[in-house]
Structure 1
Amino acid sequence: MIHIRPDGQGAVEVEAKVGILKDKHTGQRLQLPVLVETILTPNSIDSRFESNMTLAQHKHFNSILNNLKTFSAQPGHTSAPLEYTHLHLVDTFYQPDSTRDKDKVRVTRDEKSGTVLECMQKVRLGNLDVYSPKRAADWRISVNMEIPVPPPIGTATLTRKKDRMSYAHEEFTIDLTQVTSSTSPTSKSEVLHELELEVARPDYLLSTASKRGDPNVSETERNAFDELIRAFVNNARILVRNAGEGWQ
């Protein structure tokens, strides 16, 4: 899945997006001769992953997550409550300085104040597509490096406004986002609705990975990485299981 680790310092991002795997030729959802959830060999099928859902599906997940937040705050609930944040962000994308570098620079600002929250370059390390024939949606795991960079000079090639409802629980965050994209102030905007799950603490993920199977640490530490990934996969499957019809 991951062939190279890029030079430079940055944070590892591990996320799962819910969407649909489509045949590039027909534009329809893949139909494969399998009965159960299946990981596709990268680049083995001429397909694309689309994470856009309808507004109705967006509202459906918003209702589910809000109900979970309310339930988790009830007295006697055994696990940590969900934390909720509503963010309004603006991403602007710029061409990299080097012609050898294909990854664009992204500047993220708070929409209201204009404050720059981060300036970074996302380097894609690899994807795994998971086909779910018994569900209304599929999912994709992506691993990236987010590398801080100096503020770019020039004109942005793309602007994305993100209306994001973020739900955090223990080691994960779930982001439900309406994205409005445009290439210029006069161009027609495109509105997308996306759902993604992300590992909240990349440093902890790498720390547990470094101790995986180490005989010199406790059994809990040796198994922490596997437990974290198991919980990540289970959470992604729960989101997919709750996906009704309504994917674009």
Structure 2
Amino acid sequence: MATPHSRSPTGDDDTRPAKRARHSPPPGTMNGNGNGHSADAMSPLSLSILGVEPLDEFTVEIADFIHHHIVNRPPGLTGHIEVEAKLGVLKGKGTDQRLALPVSTETVINAGYNQELRFDANMSMQQHKHFNMLLNDLKTGVHQRPPGSSDISYAHLHLKDSFYEGEHRSEKIRVTRDERTNEVLETLRKVRLGDMNVYCPKRACDWRISVNVEIPVEHPVGTPTHTRKKDRISYTHEELRIDLTQVTSQQGGPSGPTEITHELEIEVARPALLMELASKRGDGSLPDQERDAFNELIRAFVNNARILVRNADG
């Protein structure tokens, strides 16, 4: 019977293949050409013929997208910038079939194709349970992390969102309360600036990056159009927050139909820091570390999204 083996949080097998048998003399012995160098020996390699490593176009494309929407947001649109990535499945509009493109690795979908797609952010109960266990194990130290890794903080939240129509029919105002105390935590209007879809043909899910502005507003009057309850476990690591949420939505009042979904999203935790770093990006008058800090933040954001996607199959 085959012996099962575990998978590490990075999605790689914990097992290692046996070392390849040596078919050449050990270092220092004569080889078939009569010299003392092993045929297997290799000198250290340069990063490239120019001595530098090419930029990762995938991460740069995402950083450019986020930066563009931050610095080019409509004038007068004040509020907190929200940058988040949600895990889900890209599907063709009008179908329930997952997108199928002739590519073999994760790919940013051209924005012009977005109108042909829809994004289903709901994951299975099994995936939700898997991520809950994975993130809890990282928090408690069951999965050993590299020395010097930052701690992960944890919060379990019970929230209730009520949605009201805004001045325009397309606008929605969200009032969020602590479900246990009924305290209003925030009242805001969210404006979507842009979406970027990432297709992952080798994985169980895809992901979508969204850039939004959250604008604080007065508490609306009237009856909410719909409500949702969020049982959320929030994990914060360095400058990023990962929210694992079971959402119970209800349409048309207390007697309306309910729907339960499960979501996972990664968000930049400090909007003020994001804005500050975006303003310094590429500024030649600043030291390299300051002008590149925005790219470093987005690199960490992308890496976390990728590592979670690669663990989505459990």
Q: Normalising to structure 1: TM-score of the pair?
A: 0.93
Sort the Cα spacing of 1:82 and 1:73 in 2 relative to 1 into closer, same or farther, 3 A.
Answer: farther
How much has 1:33 moved relative to structure 2? 0.7
Counterparts in 2 of 1:228 and 1:75: CA distance versus 1, 3 Å: closer
Which residue of 2 is the match for residue 225 of structure 1?
Answer: 294
* Larger relative contact order (CA 8 Å, sep ≥ 6): 1
CA offsets 1:112-134 (integer angstroms, 9 cap, x no match): 11000000000000000000011
Equivalences for residues 189-200 of structure 1 within 5 A: 189-200=258-269
Q: CA deviation at 1:240?
A: 0.3
Task: State how many pairs are aligned.
Answer: 243
| % identical equivalent positions | 57
Unaligned runs of at least 5 residues, structure 2: 1-64
Contact 1:175 1:196 in 2 (8 A): yes
Alignment of 1:63-212 (within 5 A): 63-71=133-141, 77-96=147-166, 98-99=167-168, 102-183=170-251, 184-212=253-281
Change (3 A) 1:59 1:73: closer
> By how many angstroms is 1:188 displaced?
1.6
The whole-number CA distance in structure 1 between the counterparts of 2:75 and 2:247 is 28
Shift, 1:63, TM fit? 0.3
Render the CA deviation track for 1:72-126: whole Å, top value 9, x for unaligned: 8989941211000000000000000x23x62200000000110000000000000
Instruction: Spell out, residue by residue over 1:166-196, the C-alpha distance to the aligned partner (whole angstroms, 9 max, x if none).
Output: 0000000000000000021001210000000
Deviation string 1:197-219 (CA, Å, 9 cap, x unpaired) is 00001111111111112122221
> Which residue type is aligned with residue 109 of structure 1?
R
C-alpha distance in 2, partners of 1:238/1:74? 16
Would the alpha carbon gap of residues 185 and 6 (structure 1) be closer, same or farther in structure 2, given more than 3 Å must change? farther
Point out 4+ residue stretches in structure 1 off by more than 3 angstroms: 1-4, 72-77
Q: Does residue 302 of structure 2 align to residue 244 of structure 1?
A: no
Aligned to 2:21: none
2:93 and 2:161 mapped to 1: Cα distance?
Answer: 28
How far apart are the structure 1 equivalents of 2:143 and 2:164?
42
Does 2:282 align with 1:213? yes
Distance in 1 separating the partners of 2:113 and 2:218: 38
Helix, strand or coil: the match of 1:135?
coil
Query: What displacement does 1:43 show?
Result: 4.0
CA distance in 2, matches of 1:179, 1:76: 33
User: 1:45-60 alignment to 2 at 5 Å?
Assistant: 46-60=116-130
Distance 1:198 1:72 in 2: 24
* 8 Å CA contact 2:138, 2:144 repeated in 1: no
CA distance in 1, matches of 2:274, 2:297: 8
Contact 2:83–2:211 (8 Å) recurs in 1: yes
Which of structures 1 and 2 has the bigger CA Rg? 2
Indicate conservation of the 8 Å contact 1:130/1:139, yes or no: yes
The aligned amino acid for 1:86 is H
Q: For residues 16-47 of structure 1, what are the alpha-carbon distances to aligned partners after superposition, in whole Å with 9 as ceiling and x for unaligned? A: 00000012233110111111111111241522
Aligned with 1:234 (options 296, 299, 303): 303
2: CA distance, partners of 1:149 / 1:72: 43
Q: Is this contact kept in 1: 2:85–2:209, CA < 8 A?
A: yes
| Alpha-carbon distance in 2 for matches of 1:21, 1:72 | 33
User: SS where residue 113 of structure 2 aligns?
Assistant: coil
Pair 75,159 (structure 1): closer, same or farther in 2 beyond 3 Å = closer
